[in-house]
Amino acid sequence: MPSLHYTLTPIPHRHLFQIDLQIRNTRGTALSLYLPNWIAGSYMIRDFAQHIVSISAHDDKGAIDLRPTSQHSWSTPDFVGHLNIRYEVFAHDTSVRTAFLDGNGGFFNATSLCLTAHELAMQPHHLHLNAPVDYPNWQVATTLPRADGTWARDFGEHKAHNYDELTDHPVRFGDLTWLEFSSHGVLHEVALAGTLPYLDKNRLVTDLHSICAAQLALFEPQNPTQAPFKRYVFMVDVRSSGYGGLEHRSSTALLCERGDLPVVAHAEKPRNDSYINFLGLCSHEYFHSWNVKRIKPANFVQYDLTRITDTSLLWFFEGVTSYYDDLIMYRVGILDAAQYLKKLENGYNSVVRHDGANRQTVHDSGYYAWTKYYQTSANTPNAVVSYYSKGALIALAMDLFIRNHSESKHSLDDVMRDLWMRFGRDFYQLYPQGAAQGVTEADIIQSVARFSTANDTEVHAFFQNALHSTNALPLPELLTQHGMLISEPKSSIAQLGASTKKVDGGWQIQRVLNGSAAQQAGLAPDDVLIAFDTLRLNQSPDDTLAKINIGVEVSVYYFRDDVLQKTKLVNAPAPHGVYEWRLAEGQKDVFNII
| Nearby residues of 439 by Cβ (< 8 Å), 6 or more positions away | 295, 296, 297, 298, 313, 316, 419, 423
Within this chain, do residues 318 and 348 fall inside the same structural domain, yes or no?
Answer: yes
Within this chain, do residues 77 and 129 fall inside the same structural domain, yes or no?
Answer: yes
- Per-residue pLDDT band for 446 (boundaries 50, 70, 90) equals very high
Buried/exposed code over 217-239 (b: 16+ C-beta within 10 A; e: otherwise) = bbbbeeebeebbbeebbbbbbbe
- Report, as an integer, the average pLDDT of 463-484: 95
- Per-residue pLDDT band for 281 (boundaries 50, 70, 90) equals very high
- Per-residue pLDDT band for 9 (boundaries 50, 70, 90) equals very high
Within this chain, do residues 268 and 206 fall inside the same structural domain, yes or no?
Answer: yes
| Domain count within the chain | 4
Q: What is d(CA 297, CA 544) in angstroms, rounded to the nearest whole number?
A: 48
Q: Is residue 548 part of a domain?
A: yes
Collapsed DSSP state (helix, strand, coil) of residue 500: strand
- What's CA 522's distance to the chain center, in Å? 36
Q: Are 551 and 572 in contact (CB under 8 A)?
A: yes
Q: Are 141 and 179 in contact (CB under 8 A)?
A: no
For 530, counting Cβ atoms within 10 Å of its Cβ (0-12 exposed, 13-18 middle, 19+ buried), the class is middle
- Per-residue pLDDT band for 594 (boundaries 50, 70, 90) equals low
Q: Are 251 and 170 in contact (CB under 8 A)?
A: yes
Within this chain, do residues 245 and 353 fall inside the same structural domain, yes or no?
Answer: no
| Nearby residues of 69 by Cβ (< 8 Å), 6 or more positions away | 32, 75
Q: Are strands 99-102 and 105-108 parallel, antiparallel or unpaired?
A: antiparallel
Q: Is residue 586 part of a domain?
A: no
Q: Is residue 576 part of a domain?
A: no
68 pLDDT above the threshold of 80: yes
Q: Are 531 and 501 in contact (CB under 8 A)?
A: no
**CA dist 134 → 100, 106, 246, 381 (Å):** 18, 14, 30, 49
Size of the chain, expressed as the number of residues it contains: 594
Q: What is the pLDDT of residues 98-136, one digit of tens each?
A: 999 999 999 999 999 999 999 999 999 999 999 998 999
Structure confidence at residue 588 (pLDDT): 83
Q: Is residue 298 part of a domain?
A: no
495 pLDDT above the threshold of 90: no
433 pLDDT above the threshold of 70: yes
Q: Are 218 and 235 in contact (CB under 8 A)?
A: no
Mean pLDDT score of the chain: 96
- Per-residue pLDDT band for 593 (boundaries 50, 70, 90) equals low
Collapsed DSSP state (helix, strand, coil) of residue 225: coil
Collapsed DSSP state (helix, strand, coil) of residue 9: strand
Within this chain, do residues 240 and 318 fall inside the same structural domain, yes or no?
Answer: no
Buried/exposed code over 410-419 (b: 16+ C-beta within 10 A; e: otherwise) = bbbbbbbbbb
Q: How many Cα atoms are found within 13 Å in the side-chain-facing hemisphere of 229?
A: 27
Q: Is residue 575 part of a domain?
A: no
- Report, as an integer, the average pLDDT of 338-347: 96
Within this chain, do residues 14 and 158 fall inside the same structural domain, yes or no?
Answer: yes
Q: Choose the final residue of a domain: 289, 318, 336.
A: 289
Q: Which residue has the higher pLDDT, 591 or 200?
A: 200
Q: Are 185 and 197 in contact (CB under 8 A)?
A: no
592 pLDDT above the threshold of 70: no
Structure confidence at residue 576 (pLDDT): 84
What CATH number did the domain enclosing 525 receive? 2.30.42.10
Within this chain, do residues 162 and 83 fall inside the same structural domain, yes or no?
Answer: yes
**In 3D, which of 275, 243, 237 has the Cα closest to residue 259?**
275
1 pLDDT above the threshold of 60: no
Within this chain, do residues 217 and 343 fall inside the same structural domain, yes or no?
Answer: no
Q: Are 4 and 82 in contact (CB under 8 A)?
A: no
Q: Are strands 231-239 and 186-193 parallel, antiparallel or unpaired?
A: parallel
413 pLDDT above the threshold of 80: yes
- Report, as an integer, the average pLDDT of 305-331: 98
Within this chain, do residues 461 and 440 fall inside the same structural domain, yes or no?
Answer: yes
Q: Is residue 132 part of a domain?
A: yes
Q: Which residue has the higher pLDDT, 256 or 489?
A: 256
Q: What is d(CA 485, CA 224) in angstroms, rounded to the nearest whole number?
A: 35
324 pLDDT above the threshold of 70: yes
- Report, as an integer, the average pLDDT of 292-298: 98
Structure confidence at residue 494 (pLDDT): 75
